[in-house]
Structure 1
Amino acid sequence: MNNSWIEKLLRRPYFIYSLLTLFVFLGAIGYQKMERKLFPESNYPEIAVVIMQPGGSAQTLAANVSVPVEEELYTLNNVRRVFSTTIDEVSVIRAEFEYSKDLDMAASDVANALAKINSSLPQDILPPQIHKISAATAPVMVVAISSADNNMALTDIRQLAQNTLRAQFIKLPGVANVDIFGGYKKEVQIVVDKGQLERYGLTLDSITKRLRADDRDYAIGFISGDKQRFLLKAPGRHPGRC
């Protein structure tokens, strides 16, 4: 039976040539239309939400921010799991979706979910940051910086990385972004005298608002050259702040 089919095919070489030509043609079209990525997706689509509350403790953030956001994200379609990490002043909630979920659509769904419960979250939180997590956004290299003889404070190491090394790394060919984490950030502690507040008719809220208003840089224009463009800013930050 099999031999008879083979003999029939051999008697029709043009038919075989036509099939081979058709397969080659379809293969060429498929190859041209095939999606190509530098970093093919191998993990589940994931969205990370970063919510900051200046001065908030980890316990307060977990109860008032992380838990409500997790519960709301669990109601979204095609969610596999939701988990969070909470430290002082920062809550990171991550939602993992099924493979069938488009990453852009997942980000849109998360944004809508946050807007839905925004009124029930603490009023002093900063606007939530939504990040798409994929193979393309994963760090290619992680560099640890330390003092060779331990005579450099962590605040100075972070300032060196933030103000000097980051600018040098980001100039390298092929580098799209450089993130700094770890170390300590310098801060200014203001001790308020309650008697002086009452004397001048001030409140803690008024002082906080004034500090936030003064702690900004304002863009006032650009200087454009042949190949470069420089942003001009009017400094509003305190000189000692990093």
Structure 2
Amino acid sequence: MDQPKGIIPWFANNPVAANLLLILVISLGVLNMGSLNKEAFPSLTPNRVAISVSNDTGSAKENEEGIAIPLEQALQGVSGIKNITTSSTASATSTSIEMLDGYDIDILLADVKDKVDQISSFPDEADPAVVTKATREEHSIWIQLYGDVDRRTLQKLTDELESDLLANENISATSISGWLDPTIKIDIDKNKLESYGLTLSDIATAINAESSLHKWQRCAMNIFI
């Protein structure tokens, strides 16, 4: 009978060679184990450009109309753009630009900066636009604070912990969840209000003017390195 041909039948008929090859493969793996690059979240080449414009108007609609729409219109036709995602809040507008596969991120960044610099219709109160390559942050750990105390105490401890963590040069940013800003309820006596010749709009304007001087700023506890 003809013997089967091929590498598998050959090794089946030569077990010593098969064992030697197995030992060689294992030995090479053990020798190179220490030089392998091990990462929980491997670094990826940036494929997005981020634009951030701060403008504390108190209205997400105003930022959408005054910043988001002009941004998207200015970026139309720029080469290398796959998708544009824009979101506006009462204090800022953020735009994420996804790059086409194979395009040069540095060229896209330069083109986007050039288009953004040409926009002259942003509100006067808005801060200059910040255009950067969006990089992936490497998540490190979660920390949860809890205890038989009120929320104000927990938030104070969280604030102190965040400051201590950010003092470490290996920690680039933190992200806090579950944070609630303090709120104040104001009851108004309408008779006294009328006696002073004031309206509810006058009270609201005065409160908004004062509160804008004391806004609480918090990074939007995850820790990144």
Q: Report the TM-score when normalising by structure 2.
A: 0.54
1:64 alignment partner AA: G
2:133 alignment partner AA: K
Gaps in structure 2 of 5+ consecutive residues? 1-36, 184-208, 218-225
Shift of residue 74, structure 1, vs aligned partner: 2.9
Establish whether residue 133 from structure 1 lines up as the match of residue 134 from structure 2. Answer: yes
1:178 alignment partner AA: A
1:58–1:79 CA distance, 2 compared to 1 (3 A) = same
Q: Which among 93, 97, 120 is matched to residue 91 of structure 1? A: 93
Report the secondary structure of 1:85's partner residue.
strand
Match of 2:161 in 1: 165
Alpha-carbon separation, structure 2, partners of 1:83 and 1:120: 20
Shift of residue 100, structure 1, vs aligned partner: 2.1
Shift of residue 103, structure 1, vs aligned partner: 2.5
Establish whether residue 179 from structure 1 lines up as the match of residue 174 from structure 2. Answer: yes
Show CA shifts across 1:57-114 (max 9, x none).
0111111111110122232111001011111111111111112223333222222111
Alpha-carbon separation, structure 2, partners of 1:159 and 1:109: 44
> Once the two structures are aligned, what percentage of the paired residues are identical?
15
Q: Report the TM-score when normalising by structure 1.
A: 0.50
Shift of residue 131, structure 1, vs aligned partner: 3.1
1:143–1:130 CA distance, 2 compared to 1 (3 A) = farther
Report the secondary structure of 1:95's partner residue.
strand
1:96–1:151 CA distance, 2 compared to 1 (3 A) = same
Alpha-carbon separation, structure 2, partners of 1:144 and 1:77: 42
RMSD, aligned α-carbons: 3.8
1:121 alignment partner AA: F
Is the Cα contact below 8 Å between 2:145 and 2:158 reproduced in 1?
no
Shift of residue 176, structure 1, vs aligned partner: 4.0
1:99 alignment partner AA: D
Q: Which among 52, 77, 80 is matched to residue 79 of structure 2? A: 77
Gaps in structure 1 of 5+ consecutive residues? 1-35, 188-207, 216-237
1:52–1:76 CA distance, 2 compared to 1 (3 A) = same
Number of corresponding residues = 155
